[in-house]
Amino acid sequence: MSPPSADVDIQPITTEPVPNKAAPTSAQTHSSASRLTGPLTYSGSLDQYEQFDVTAVIGREFPTLQLSEILEDDIKVRDLAILVSQRGVLFFRNQDLTVDQQKTLAQKLGELTGKPETSKLHIHALANSKRGIAVDENGKLDDEISVISSEQNRRFYKEKYDRLGKRLGSEGWHADITFEHIPSDYAILKITHPPADAGGDTLWASGYEAYDRLSPAFQRLAESLTATHYQPGFKEVKEKFGVDLIEDYRGAPENRGLEFTAVHPVVRTNPVTGWKSLFAAGNQIANGRINGVTERESEILKMYFTQLIVENHDLQVRFRWNKNDLAIWDNRSVFHTATNDYAGKRQGNRVVSLGEKPYFDPNSKSRRQALGLVPQEE
């Protein structure tokens, strides 16, 4: 059983039907804050299913559970979200979940754990239906599903996705869509076409543990800072290939325009667990900066924060995909990267839920503190 995240729970959340993607009008009043009043407690409803932790720090696999069987059980879906937030990423084998069910699950994970009512499913500016890639065998196109396509990636970002290239694989570490003002809480990826040859694994790394690797002095420094997240790649693709980008509503009222720039705290509190996570690291800030310090200091901090993710293999977990395998992760507290070591086709459907506006709560705890792993003298 997973340890409880805290003794504090929320008032019961009324589950509303999963909405369509129609943009809220500007006249509607909305809040971008989480609706939680405190961390959530796991109830144990998923203990009946076979499961095991993949590493001590991150990852859990459910070898036999079909997510389609619990989709209508809000208690189990809520517990599922809590486990994702505690363990960082969960893995499921050979899932029969349809693309519509995948979207429903993604939205419910956030709704049942208090995300703002205006946060829906993300509409990716580039990886959307305009690329003409079907999300199922019936040729369906859907803006709320980001098709992860090796063929498209090799076309748009040739050098980065060349298996015989000379770039460092560690350059790929990121959390999804942090360039948006309202970024992701949960993401679900189902691989429909794994490479015929070996390779194409995905790795995840714990932002909780990365924070805990900082000294107390560096923790205090990081907690006092914000970072500018910036993604220039989409506009570069637009200019080079003449493709259209979605400029208007992308799943939340705040996510509009082609700036792809947002300011977020360097250390982020996950409202579901109440734990602190390093958030400013990896590719999402490679083109941005740490605010409030000199340019040189920014580069040093960016390099060190990313080094914590890249060079600590014991806060990472690696997953080998088979056809229809599925992963769910919490983008607030983990980083991930694909392994571009294959020649064949690799494709999958990713649904990204939008969460709350990132924040840091100085009263929140680290993962090690919450689990009683910190020695008394610390």
Task: Tell me the three state secondary structure of residue 132.
Answer: coil
pLDDT confidence tier of residue 30, bands split at 50, 70 and 90: low
pLDDT digits (tens, 9 = 90+) for 116-172: 999 999 999 998 888 888 888 878 889 999 988 887 778 877 777 777 677 777 889
**Residue 150: what pLDDT?**
84
pLDDT digits (tens, 9 = 90+) for 210-222: 999 999 999 999 9
What the chain holds in terms of domains, given with CATH numbers, is 52-370 (3.60.130.10)
Which one-letter DSSP state was computed for residue 117? T
Q: What percentage of the chain carries pLDDT values higher than 90? A: 75
Q: How far apart are CA 331 and CA 354, in angstroms?
A: 10
Q: Return the structure tokens found at 285.
A: 């800030």
Which one-letter DSSP state was computed for residue 121? B
For the chain, how many residues are written?
378
Give the HSE-up count for residue 264: Cα atoms under 13 Å, Cβ half-sphere.
Answer: 31
pTM: 0.90
Q: Return the structure tokens found at 171.
A: 């350059």
- Average pLDDT of the residues of the chain: 90
Per-residue DSSP letters for 354-371?
E-PPP---TT-B-HHHHT
In 3D space, the residue among 211, 259, 244, 232 whose CA is nearest the CA of residue 360 turns out to be: 211
Q: How far apart are CA 371 and CA 362, in angstroms?
A: 18
Q: What percentage of the chain carries pLDDT values higher than 70? A: 91
- The amino acid present at 138, given as its one-letter code, is N
**Residue 134: what pLDDT?**
80
Q: How far apart are CA 7 and CA 143, in angstroms?
A: 39
Comparing 17-21, 124-128, 349-353, the range with the smallest average pLDDT is 17-21
Q: How many CB atoms within 10 Å of residue 361?
A: 15
Q: Which helix (H) or strand (E) holds 336?
A: strand 334-338
Q: How far apart are CA 348 and CA 192, in angstroms?
A: 5
Q: How far apart are CA 154 and CA 149, in angstroms?
A: 9
pLDDT digits (tens, 9 = 90+) for 87-97: 999 999 999 99
Q: Is the pLDDT of residue 18 over 80?
A: no
Backbone angles phi, psi at 267, to 5 degrees: -110, 125
Q: 170: Cβ–Cβ under 8 A, 6 or more apart, which residues? A: 306, 310, 337
**Residue 195: what pLDDT?**
92
In 3D space, the residue among 281, 339, 276 whose CA is nearest the CA of residue 309 turns out to be: 281
Give the HSE-up count for residue 143: Cα atoms under 13 Å, Cβ half-sphere.
Answer: 17
Q: How far apart are CA 284 and CA 332, in angstroms?
A: 13
pLDDT confidence tier of residue 4, bands split at 50, 70 and 90: very low
In 3D space, the residue among 174, 375, 370 whose CA is nearest the CA of residue 275 turns out to be: 370
pLDDT confidence tier of residue 71, bands split at 50, 70 and 90: very high
Q: Is the pLDDT of residue 12 over 60?
A: no
pLDDT digits (tens, 9 = 90+) for 183-194: 999 999 999 999
Q: Is the pLDDT of residue 358 over 90?
A: yes
Q: Return the structure tokens found at 314.
A: 């014991």
